[in-house]
Amino acid sequence: MIFSFDDFRVHDVKGHRFLAKFFRQPTFCAFCKEFLWGFGKQGYQCQSCQTAVHKKCHDKLLGKCPGSGRNSESTIVSFKNLIHI
Ligand SMILES: [Zn+2]
Ligand SMILES: [Zn+2]
């Protein structure tokens, strides 16, 4: 299997962080509602909210990522501050 360099990049779209992935179980594309699975093709999955999309669909997605929103790092920082108190 040969991957292009692009397959290892994180694609930022509206807060989503899409990374190329092979889907081992039936998964629907969040944009066109078609199966991502069963064609031997890979799609993208968001690292924050687990939204799955086809490669051709990932930049057409209209919804913002609910998972990352305000970056998760600030959440971790404030949590650390709580522990200090
Ligand atoms: Zn997302
Ligand atoms: Zn699609």
Q: How far is the CA of 56 from the centre of ligand 1 (A)?
A: 16
Three-state DSSP class for 80? helix
User: For residue 65, which amino acid is it?
Assistant: C
44 Rama class: left (phi>0) / alpha (psi -120 to 50) / beta? beta
Query: What average pLDDT does this structure show over 8-25?
Result: 89
Q: Which residue has the tokens 């944009």?
A: 31
Ligand nearest to the CA of 39: 2
CATH code of the domain in which 45 resides: 3.30.60.20
Task: State the chain's mean pLDDT as an integer.
Answer: 78
Quote the CA–CA distance of 80 and 19 in Å, as a whole number.
28
Q: How far is the CA of 81 from the centre of ligand 2 (A)?
A: 41
Based on the structure, what is the number of domains in the chain?
1
User: Edge-to-edge strand order for the sheet containing 11-13?
Assistant: 11-13, 16-21, 43-46, 52-54
Tens digit of each residue's pLDDT (9 = 90 or more) over 33-76: 998 865 555 799 999 999 999 999 999 998 999 985 455 555 55
> Is 70 exceeded by the pLDDT of residue 12?
yes
Ligand nearest to the CA of 59: 2
Residue numbers of the domain that contains 64: 5-84
Ligand nearest to the CA of 67: 1
